[in-house]
Amino acid sequence: MKIALGQINPIVGDISGNSAKIIDLIEKARHEKADLVVFPELCVTGYPPEDLVLKPKFIAENLAAVERIVKSTKDIAVYFGFVNLAKDNLYNAGAFAENGKAKEVYHKMNLPNYAVFDEKRYFKEGTKGSVVNYKGTKIGLGICEDIWVEQGPYREEVKRGAGIILNINASPYHIGKVKEREALLKARAKKNKAFFVYVNLVGGQDELVFDGGSMVIDPKGNLIAACDQYREELLFVDIEKDRLTDWRWLDEPEEIYRALVLCVRDYVGKNGFSDVLIGVSGGIDSALTLAIAADALGREHVHAIFMPSDFTAEQSRRDSQELCANLKVELAEIPIKDIFARYLDALMPHFKGKPANVAEENLQARIRGNFLMALSNKFGWLVLSTGNKSELSTGYCTLYGDMAGGFVVLKDVPKTLVYRLSDWRNRDKEVIPKAIIKRPPTAELKPNQLDQDTLPPYEILDPIMRAYVEENMSVKEIVASGFEAKVVEKVAALIDHSEYKRRQAPPGPRITGRSFGKDWRVPITNRFNEL
């Protein structure tokens, strides 16, 4: 059987556009004499549709699109995902259509309700597996989470004679996820002695990145076909003949970098923007953000602005100029010295008798934020803010200052990983100046300021933050793993007390197993003490 894997990048809510893309690829698959073409989970609506499924018009348009897709299946079979309405219940569904008719509709049985998933809010669980007989072969149907459950519907379907299991997915990316999927599918295929055809979504959707990586595993547990990560593809596989040799998924730094690039490109493009604006400081976070944006959108769509103050070192200007020259991005400069002085004059009667503190520091960040948003309003550019996960976790950022913007590219990227990704970007040619990478991190909001004056060194902070946030370890457990108690307690307290800031931060790509987004739901008003 010749199967086409339709790894596509749908847009949530663009039902007419998504269905037109599906129908076009069905025609291409028919032209290549494929027997069957398989598309991802909820590809008609895009994933996740969230509360859009509560709108009757949305459901009706989705069902009308399903009819159009089904009618396009002359001389070919198609399995694709949509939202079904049956007996006043909504289902995450898959339709198996052949020769203009819907032969079988499968309802997802295992609805994930953890991390970024909340499918039980919207859908009712299906109650049984589905097996279709197509060209003399029995084929079992499933959707995403169904494959992760030990007693998933594929077990029953194999017992009913299914030699091929089709599993359609909207499986979001986190570091190493594609290898987790491969290992799981190999185990399932080998144990059940069936072909497993796994088709995943690709693209960015708000904070989620879908990395593709669709694949086919044979009954012996061998990977026999795979789609590239991070791009749309229609891959043809003769499951009886084709074999894959020397296949390797992307190495970790490239995997992460390309996830960030894809998410930026799709967030900007799918939301109707063409250009972005970034405040560059001479620091590594803004440098990496600028490089990612240029790779995602093209240098002509990226604008950089340098906003020096009295505390800005000349090195910061030189490094920013070199960075922008390397990327061929135009750099503008707006000094904030005079405006900052006027702010201080206006506030002097109210600040009288009070020593300088974080208030004066944050004024500078907020002046810069105002300039960025003014340019955004004037030209329609989306501001990409440049904070990283280490800063957001500890609150080492300024509300309405460096947090101002529409998208935070490094929101889920710890500082130590920022350095790794910068080194990877420089692998062939120096783009981010070495001086930026080697320079100790500084906010440059007061004389001789370093991040390390306020925070533990990032090589200590980041593993503590990872354990506390991503692995949900207690303070005692982290201390027992070898970290100094006072440092762990300080980091945990900073994380706990900074929720009000994070809740006001823009969205950003999720690349770890737990980001400060949909899978981090901590009350702002909260007196629980972990210490």
Q: Which string of b and e fits 65-95 if b means at least 16 CB within 10 Å?
A: bbeebbebbeebbbbbbbbbeeeeebbbbbb
Please give the backbone phi and psi of residue 200, each rounded to the nearest 5 degrees, phi first.
Answer: -115, 155
Distance, CA of 36 to CA of 77 (rounded, Å): 5
Q: Assign 243 a pLDDT band (cuts: 50, 70, 90).
A: confident
User: Residue holding tokens 């990496």?
Assistant: 288
Predicted confidence at residue 449, as pLDDT, reads 74
The predicted structure's pLDDT at residue 276: 98
Q: Which CATH superfamily is domain 256-451 in?
A: HUPs (3.40.50.620)
> What's the whole-number mean pLDDT along residues 103-125?
95
Region for 310 from its dihedrals, namely left if φ exceeds 0, alpha if ψ lies in -120 to 50, beta otherwise? alpha
Angle in degrees, CA 25, 31, 35, rounded to 5: 80
Task: Tell me the one-letter amino acid at 20.
Answer: A
pLDDT(84) > 80:
yes
> Quick check: 68 and 49 in contact, CB under 8 A?
no
Separation CA 94–CA 42 (nearest Å): 8
> Of 137-151, 224-238, 242-256, 411-425, where does mean pLDDT reach its minimum?
242-256
Instruction: Give the confidence band of 493 by pLDDT, cuts at 50, 70, 90.
Output: very high
Torsion angle (degrees, nearest 10) of CA 261, 263, 264, 267: 160
With beta carbons less than 8 A apart as the criterion, state whether 420 and 253 touch: yes
pLDDT at 33 over 90: yes
Residues 40, 21: Cα–Cα separation, whole Å: 12
**Nearest Cα to 331, choosing from 278, 275, 373, 409?**
278
Active site residues per annotation = 41, 108, 144
Three-state SS at 122: coil
pLDDT of amino acid 446 = 82
Contact 158, 193 (CB under 8 A): yes
Give residue 39's pLDDT: 98
- Reply yes or no on whether the pLDDT at 530 is more than 90: no
pLDDT tens column, 307-363: 999 998 999 999 999 999 999 999 999 999 999 999 999 999 999 989 999 999 999
Give the dihedral sign, CA 232/238/240/241. Answer: negative
Tell me, what's the pLDDT at 452?
Answer: 82
pLDDT for 531 equals 77
To the question of domain 2-243 being in CATH 3.60.110.10, the answer is: yes
**CB of 291 within 8 A of CB of 260?**
no
The domains of the chain are located at: 2-243, 256-451
Q: What pLDDT shows up at residue 161?
A: 96
Q: What does pLDDT average to over the chain? A: 95
Task: Give the pLDDT confidence score for residue 441 in this predicted structure.
Answer: 85
pLDDT for residue 242: 81
Q: What is the pTM of this model?
A: 0.95
State yes or no: pLDDT of 241 exceeds 90.
no
Average pLDDT value for residue range 190-200: 97
| Residue 246 pLDDT grade (very low, low, confident, very high; cuts 50, 70, 90) | confident
What's residue 338's pLDDT?
95
pLDDT confidence bin for 447, thresholds 50/70/90: confident
* CA distances in angstroms from 510 to 389, 423, 495, listed in the order given: 11, 21, 18
The pLDDT value given to residue 454: 87
